[in-house]
Structure 1
Amino acid sequence: MEANDVIYPRVAGIDVSKRDAKVCVRVPLKRRNTFRSIVTTWGSTVPEILELKAYLEREHLQLVVMESTSDYWKPFFYLLEDTVPVQLVNARQAKNLPGRKTDVSDAAWLAKTASWGMLAPLFVPPPPVRELRDLTRARSTLTHYRASVLQRLEKYLENTGTKLSAVVSDLNGVSSKLILHALANGERDPKVLAALAKGRLKNKAKELEQALTGLRFTGHDAFMVAFHLDELDAQDARLAALDAQITEAFASFRPEIELLSTIPGVKELTAQVIIAETGADMAAFPTAAQLAAWAGVAPGNNESAGRHKPAATRKGNTYLKGGLGTAALNIAKQKDNFLSARYKRIANRRGKPRAIVATEHTIITAVWNMLANGVCYDEPPIRRYTQANADRTRQHALN
């Protein structure tokens, strides 16, 4: 890069760590095309960050950039964003040249590349949306943890020879919990245990008796099963409290949630994740393609010497991608709509994993158009795929 290529003459680069931050301020000198870089160290406590803020304000900087290092960037960004033109950048894009790597050189490299305009800013939502993110991400974490508790319970039951999971569909269901609580309280008679079944599970009384016969169930096993059941009850209570808080927090986004829920496969929970991760404001994403790339569902591009090679999708926003994946799996089970027909068409030709990603891409494209233009979901005619495939099959048979 030449000195004449500088876009922002007065910049700063911040290399953040857990304990402190190296700040490189790069400003022009009186002599043309010459710059001075001053590197200072600042602590990561709030009083020290406020001192850094006053220092940056006195320098009248045009741009301040910092890497997205774990969660250590957040106190710096949140305290600086109101009066300092700060941007968060991708650490991969700002990667320094290998060799002689230090925190000081990283800060200087950040300032230099920022002055050339080489770093694209990352999307950081406003404070109200951050609160929504905290809630939906906490629900995702609790849901995964609850699923792991269920898996551990099932593995432990297998150790005791209890084949209950081979008969029931959900170990956390009403009938399953009654049977497991009875086992934990000392009941061992298979007929008595099978008689606790409710609803349609009563029709499987013989299978239940067979699955609960000859158990190696000791007092220690009873304690471990009761422990896992109590843990499940505690997680259910925490999820219920969190869902109530989420419902209250998303009250102002009810129109957007109802709008997004009209997309096949997108239920209220998925719509909440989409709003929490994107902020429901498409101003940060000029096109649907940019939103899809940010979400990690855009096709990769790997071309060399005129040849296109296979390229995987980017990691993207894992929480948004997970919500889109849930919606795509729901669509895979549906029938008689455009998205399900498109999924089946791609799955037959390219396989299910690619069909899932393609469906996720279609959903996020529809989300962008609906939120950016304020329009409802317009279901394309299913005949576009079903009839076209039938015509193609007929033509191949005639030829």
Structure 2
Amino acid sequence: MELLHDRCAALDIGKKDLKACVRTPNPGRGRSRRQETRTFATTTNALLELRDWLVAERVTLVVMEATGDYWRGAFYLLEDCLPVILVNAAHAKGLPGRKTDVSDAAWLCQLGECGLLTASFVPPEPIRHLRDLTRYRTTLTADRTREAQRLEKELEDAGIKLSSVATDILGVSGRAMLAALIDGERDPDALAGLAKARMRPKIPQLVQALTGSFSEHHAFLCRLHLERIDQLTKAIGELSTRIEEQTRPFARQREHLVTIPGVGQTVAEVIIAETGADMTRFPTAGHLASWAGICPGHHESAGKRRSGKTRHGNHWLGGALGTAAMAAARTRDTTYLGARYRRLAPRLGKKKALVAIEHSTLTAVWHMLTNDTDYQDLGGDYFTRRDPERALRRLTHQANTLGYTVRFDPIPEAA
């Protein structure tokens, strides 16, 4: 096979050390190749020695697998002076029966020198920093949700059915009632009297919901849950402030993204952090959707198409798009995305319909960031306008199902 890189190196990285394989031409021996493998620790000084060795060998390509987080130190140190690519481990599986760190490095090097590996997307340093912030905020937000669920579990254990009446038990009224319970108040009427604003009409239901067997044991655990929720809320606020500062260079892109139905500021920041807001890395919207893992898969054998389920992609971006898709689906027929969801859900099911909305959203993101423009909604009546005869057939079928016949006459134009 033709060699695209005469001097290629590959790294098989572990936690404590790595195997570095270098393949170069063998002078005086025709097309044969010289191969040398060395072991280096993953400390900074050892990685500097590795870099000096690769530079001395005049390596033109360094390949490494995305092994957990262990690849980061070597990649960041080498990227300034050598062409480095990160590859998906699933794309470089070795041959059966020869699985060792040394053979893995050699196999990776052979694939790299022949140009058989596709580089994964590694964003520049500012985007990497933004990614760390948005991902940690997502993690803390999920932790806060779980802590609120634990709090609700303790209330249920005590027979307190506050969540059956209050939409948010951590709202102003809910926090006041919980604080009173923790401080020792057990009178349901007194607790219900702490309701504020829109909760006041629900006082009779609150009296029933707040009647239970709330003990000192429950008070102790609920206090810990509330303290933990407050700590997480404070940390999330600090992260949001920091993210706001980091996304100032992308303020224009963020303003474009929030015009998409269902996409708020938080989701827009995640999209910017995960994609880098640079669509030149993705030739088409289809490439972006494929990279994100929200397009149908291809599995065809013997002329038959097998499963078309989506493959694994960027789950941080997928989670944000899922949030946006659920919000867009609730816009009813006022938006194109809402109409598309209601059109697909009966035929595909809710889950697949939401994935289709995620795909449409990401397609819009690619075009908007490529053309530097706001979202242009096609309207909730897009599908009716596109194929009015189909809409009439659907209405006729529904009427016939109910036992009616219908006739459609055009509305006369006003004089």
- Coarse TM-score class (shorter-chain normalised): over 0.9
* Offset from partner CA, 1:127-184 (integer Å, 9 cap, x none): 0111110111111010000001001111111111111111111121111111111011
Q: Which residue is 2:237 aligned to?
A: 240
Q: Which residue is 1:322 aligned to?
A: 319
SS of 1:119's equivalent? coil
1:394 Cα deviation from its structure 2 partner = 4.8
**In the alignment, is residue 332 of structure 1 matched against residue 336 of structure 2?**
no
AA partner of residue 376 (structure 2):
D
Match of 2:177 among 171, 175, 179: 179
AA partner of residue 94 (structure 1):
A
Distance across 2 between alignment mates of 1:124 and 1:230: 38
Are the aligned partners of 1:24 and 1:111 in contact in 2 as well (CA < 8 Å)?
A: yes
Distance across 2 between alignment mates of 1:293 and 1:14: 27
Aligned-residue CA RMSD (Å)? 1.5
Q: Which residue is 2:90 aligned to?
A: 92
Q: Which moved more, 1:142-151 or 1:382-391?
A: 382-391
Q: Which residue is 2:285 aligned to?
A: 288
**In the alignment, is residue 253 of structure 1 matched against residue 250 of structure 2?**
yes
Q: TM-score, normalised by structure 1?
A: 0.96
Are the aligned partners of 2:5 and 2:113 in contact in 1 as well (CA < 8 Å)?
A: yes
Distance across 2 between alignment mates of 1:72 and 1:35: 29
AA partner of residue 24 (structure 1):
C
1:229 Cα deviation from its structure 2 partner = 0.9
Distance across 1 between alignment mates of 2:379 and 2:213: 58
Are the aligned partners of 2:263 and 2:324 in contact in 1 as well (CA < 8 Å)?
A: yes
* Offset from partner CA, 1:306-339 (integer Å, 9 cap, x none): 1112221011001111111111101110031111
Are the aligned partners of 2:339 and 2:381 in contact in 1 as well (CA < 8 Å)?
A: no
Distance across 2 between alignment mates of 1:327 and 1:376: 17
Q: Which residue is 1:201 aligned to?
A: 199
Distance across 2 between alignment mates of 1:175 and 1:103: 60
Counterparts in 2 of 1:212-223, with a 5 A limit? Answer: 212-213=210-211, 215-223=212-220
Q: Give ranges in structure 2 of 5+ residues lacking alignment.
A: 407-415
Are the aligned partners of 1:341 and 1:386 in contact in 2 as well (CA < 8 Å)?
A: no
1:86 Cα deviation from its structure 2 partner = 0.7
Are the aligned partners of 2:253 and 2:372 in contact in 1 as well (CA < 8 Å)?
A: no
Distance across 1 between alignment mates of 2:221 and 2:396: 64
**In the alignment, is residue 37 of structure 1 matched against residue 38 of structure 2?**
no
AA partner of residue 129 (structure 1):
I
SS of 2:120's equivalent? coil
1:90 Cα deviation from its structure 2 partner = 0.3
Q: Which moved more, 1:355-364 or 1:27-36?
A: 27-36
Q: TM-score, normalised by structure 2?
A: 0.92
Q: Which moved more, 1:240-249 or 1:74-83?
A: 240-249
Are the aligned partners of 1:65 and 1:86 in contact in 2 as well (CA < 8 Å)?
A: yes
SS of 1:158's equivalent? helix
Q: Which moved more, 1:167-176 or 1:64-73?
A: 167-176
Distance across 1 between alignment mates of 2:229 and 2:380: 43
AA partner of residue 393 (structure 1):
R
Distance across 2 between alignment mates of 1:372 and 1:126: 19
**% identity of equivalent residues:** 49
Distance across 1 between alignment mates of 2:6 and 2:300: 35
